[in-house]
Amino acid sequence: MKKSGRDKKTPSLGHAALEVLIEEITVDAYGEQEQLWAFRQAFEDNVPLPAEGSVVGEPVVVLAFDYDGNERRGLTAKCRTADGRKHVVAAADLLMDPGTEASRYVAAYRKWMGL
């Protein structure tokens, strides 16, 4: 039997699975502004933090996800680097550890954004 290398508790990141997750998140949200708030709430409710990931190849620990109402900026993530510096980055720029809820939600957010 071949192992997939993915945690069996974390659902697939396939196209159909991401579409279902996006629909679950945005079902009651009308318009882009409400959908962004819905994604922010979904991250808060379902993504355990802190979580490990990277931004442009630099390892980071994600401390929080947020949305400040700026549709052009979208969701942001407060991150800490290994030397303790804190940065705010676009959530779409994060690469989260595979097989985690964080990776699943970031993938859904990126797909919703068309990335």
- 18-28 per-position pLDDT tens digit: 999 999 999 99
* Cβ proximity of 24 and 17 under 8 Å: no
Q: Is residue 1 part of a domain?
A: no
Q: What is the rounded distance in angstroms from the CA atom of residue 93 to the CA atom of residue 56? A: 8
Q: Is residue 52 part of a domain?
A: yes
Q: Is residue 70 part of a domain?
A: yes
Domains contained in the chain, number = 1
* Cβ proximity of 113 and 90 under 8 Å: no
Q: Is residue 96 part of a domain?
A: yes
Give the pTM.
0.86
Q: Is residue 10 part of a domain?
A: no
Kindly calculate the radius of gyration of the chain based on its CA atoms and give it in whole angstroms.
14
Q: Is residue 2 part of a domain?
A: no
Q: Is residue 90 part of a domain?
A: yes
Q: Is residue 104 part of a domain?
A: yes
What integer pLDDT is reported at residue 10 of this predicted model? 46
Q: Which domain holds residue 23?
A: 15-113
pLDDT above 70 coverage of the chain, percent? 90
